[in-house]
Amino acid sequence: MNAIAASAIVRPKTTAIFTCALAALAGLMFGLDIGVISGATQFIQKEFQISDHMIEWIVSSMMLGAAIGALGAGWMSAALGRKRSLILAGVLFVIGSLLSGGAWSPQTLIAARVILGLAIGVATFTAPLYLAEVAPENTRGAMISLYQLMITIGILVAFLSNTAFSYSGNWRWMLGIIAIPGVLFLLGLFLLPDSPRWLMMRGRKQEATAVLQKLRGDADHVAREVADIEEQLKTPQRGWHLFLQNPNFRRSVGLGVLLQLMQQFTGMNVVMYYAPRIFQDMGYATTAQMWFTAVVGLTNVLATFIAIGLVDRLGRKPILYAGFSVMAIGLGLVGAMMHLGIATHAEQLFTVAMLLLFIVGFAMSAGPLIWTLCSEVQPLKGRDFGIGCSTVTNWVANMIVGATFLTLLNSVGNAATFWLYAALNGVFLLITFWLIPETKNVTLEQIERNLMAGKPLREIGHEASAAAHGFSRPATEDTAA
Ligand code: BGC
């Protein structure tokens, strides 16, 4: 059995960390996919002699595939299980990256990127779901932040490899080389146990208990968690039915969708896809553009550690307040500099610094925390469906942002474009205050009880006192909604 295979390799106490680290490698693939295209486009454009519009298609086709992948991933992760879904994603990833590198026409490249997108869509749905299901509640936030850390490392690696290959202009290597981490990811996946919650859903209680025993190590804790999950599984509705029948579930689905819209419309991916172009607008030449892009990637990685360190201590909301404020200020000032004109070296550097400030704001907050919140707020019976909706939203919004940036620049100008995103970050600050719950140190079961009891969204993370100490409280008649 998988759990036994995993325990043969690592000691029980480290199994949970090992499991989460491996699952978080899914984030690496996500990041490679996001980062890899920014450095390649100018060379692709030269080789195939294609328009900006076609480039926009090549960039966005991956997000289209990802939206479709995320759409099917809910069904898949319920039917096949989380682990096998991740394996399928790994296979598609390797095929997609090899085909991208070998593409013989813009159309093949688009098709290859759709395949890559499918892989990432499935992985971005399944990995956070899996992490939320295997991580104990007192480290859940940090574990999911680890997933985000892997995304940022993937982006950085892609930026660095782009920079290295930019000297020869070999875009085929830029796109193809990511098959190597894809293969490593696939190999690692075979060591993962199945999600205990998924096993329980399939009536495989004994295996679920065995996996939890390896993950938690404490028999009492395991018994409580199994009882909690069992209690929740008594509710016979799920997914789409639950959505139609239960207004409380519709609220949590709406919340997940809103959270992902907020994450994407911060404007982060404008920088991820078009950083070299933005540095060009600041007056930098090609080599400097590529190296500054790598600095953006590095900043993104480093600032993610702020979130990892603070998320389970300060909570989600204070970090989101800080993040949206920093992003609004950073982009507002980038816009102001572009409006005033960047003439001197000092002005150039100041503008770069403000762009990096924006990256810090995102990486320390919305980057990891939105994924965390999205996997925490959905009730178990509808978790697949709920996270599916929010993940699809992430990719659709991502596509809109990626496909409109150049058009926005050309129509309203670069200053107004950055101000628009700065203003949106200001709006998200207010939305966080009004609507977003604090979920720090509360069990998923408690969040679900609050949601189903009809509490306002911003209060669904209010904890039962025992949960504050990191223990799951067994569901009783009066607490189970
Ligand atoms: C977002 C991606 C983004 C990345 C940047 C993720 O959380 O979902 O769209 O590119 O962070 O680090």
Which of helix, strand or coil describes residue 86? helix
Q: Atom 11 in ligand 1: which residue has the minimum CA distance?
A: 367
* Same domain flag for 154 and 244: no
**Sign of the four-CA dihedral 106, 107, 110, 116:** negative
Domain-terminating residue out of 158, 193, 228: 193
pLDDT tens digit sequence for 29-43: 889 988 989 888 889
Give the confidence band of 254 by pLDDT, cuts at 50, 70, 90. very high
Whether residue 202 is contained in a domain is answered as no
Do 58 and 123 sit in the same domain of this protein? yes
- The total number of structural domains in the chain stands at 2
Task: Provide the CATH number for the domain around residue 387.
Answer: 1.20.1250.20
Looking at residue 303, its pLDDT comes to: 95
> Is 201 inside a domain boundary?
no
Q: What is the pLDDT of residue 479?
A: 33
Same structural domain for residues 149 and 279? no
Are 184 and 284 part of one and the same domain?
no
Kindly tell me if the per-residue pLDDT of 357 is higher than 70.
Answer: yes
Dump pLDDT digits (tens) for 62-103. 999 999 998 888 788 888 988 899 999 999 999 999 999 999
Has residue 228 been placed in a domain? Answer: no
Query: Are 187 and 242 members of one domain?
Result: no
The pLDDT value given to residue 13: 56
User: Which of 136, 159, 193 is at the close of a domain?
Assistant: 193
Residue 295 counted as domain residue: yes
Average pLDDT score over the chain: 86
Residue 59 lies in a domain: yes
Q: Which of 6-10, 55-59, 117-121, 146-150 has the lowest mean pLDDT?
A: 6-10
Query: Residues 418, 294: one domain?
Result: yes
- Assess if residue 214 is contained within a domain: no
Distance 156 CA to ligand 1 centre (A): 12
Enter the tokens of residue 343: 């003439």
Ligand 1 centroid vs 75 CA: distance in angstroms?
24
Question: 332: which 2 tokens?
Answer: 């507002």
* Residues 276 and 169 reside in one and the same domain: no
Is 210 among the domain residues?
A: no
Residue 213 domain flag: no
Centroid of ligand 1 to alpha carbon of 366 (angstroms): 9
**Nearest-atom index, ligand 1, CA of 300:** 12
**Cα–Cα distance measured from residue 75 to residue 79, given in angstroms and rounded to the nearest whole number:** 6
8 A C-beta contact, residue 201 and residue 379: no
Confidence band of 236 (pLDDT split at 50, 70, 90): low
Q: What are the strands, taking DSSP E only, across 211-363?
A: none
In angstroms, the CA 67 to CA 48 distance is 27
User: How many angstroms is it from 449 CA to the middle of ligand 1?
Assistant: 30
Choice from 268, 293, 400 to test ligand 1 binding pocket (greatest atom count within 8 A of CB): 268
Same domain for 419 and 316? yes
Ligand 1 neighbours, Cβ below 6 Å, are 34, 148, 151-152, 155, 263, 268-269, 272, 300, 367, 371, 394, 398
**Boundary-marking domain end, from 193, 224, 257:** 193
Q: How many CA atoms lie within 13 A of 111 on its CB side?
A: 10
Answer for the pair 141, 311: CB distance below 8 angstroms, yes or no: yes
Question: What is the rounded average pLDDT of the residues 399-412?
Answer: 89
DSSP state of 80: T
At a CB cut-off of 8 Å and minimum separation 6, what does 83 contact?
Answer: 2, 130, 189, 192, 193, 194, 195
Same-domain pairing of 164 and 307: no
Compute the radius of gyration of the chain from its Cα atoms.
22
Residues 281 and 140 in one domain: no
Q: pLDDT at position 403, please?
A: 87
Residue 171 has pLDDT above 80, yes or no: yes
Model's pTM, two decimal places?
0.82
Q: Which domain holds residue 152?
A: 1-193
Residues 174 and 302 in one domain: no
Under 8 Å between Cβ of 345 and 283: no
Is the model more confident about 400 or about 169?
A: 400
CA of 212 to the centre of ligand 1 (A): 30
**Per-residue model confidence as pLDDT tens digits over 445-474:** 899 999 999 999 999 988 764 444 443 333
Angle between helices 12-48 and 106-134 (to 10 degrees): 160
